[in-house]
Amino acid sequence: MLFPWDLYTATKAVGFTDKGNYFEADIPIVGAQKEEIEIKTTNDILRVYFKGNEFTPEFEKQWKLPNGVVSKDVTAKYVSGILTVKVMKPKGYEDIIKVE
């Protein structure tokens, strides 16, 4: 059984995984209402913030977005205590680095 203080530790290491055409992160925020979760994009930064409550500690995390990503490329869904954030890759995005 997981307790809120266990989830606090788990959320500190949240990162995005490459899913092909998009990146995705699953963030455990158990005990929150979806209206209490704030997701913003400012310039090239994605920010997820939850003020916290008596069951779940405050959570705030920021990630740098790939060049060309705009707000409409970011979607989020909150189901059963897990916030899933999806960031579509911009057209022409390539993350392979060629060795010369």
pLDDT tens column, 3-45: 444 444 445 567 889 898 999 999 888 888 899 999 999 988 9
> Domain tally for the chain?
1
* Strands of the chain, DSSP E: 17-18, 22-28, 37-42, 45-50, 59-64, 74-79, 82-88
Quick one: which of 71, 25, 17 has its CA closest to 44?
A: 71
Asked, for residue 95, whether it belongs to a domain, the answer is no
Q: Which residues form the domain of 48?
A: 4-88
95, 18 contact by CB (below 8 A):
yes
Residue 50 tokens read as 């939850």
pTM: 0.78
Q: What is the CATH number of the domain that holds 62?
A: 2.60.40.790
Query: Do 84 and 23 contact (CB within 8 A), yes or no?
Result: no
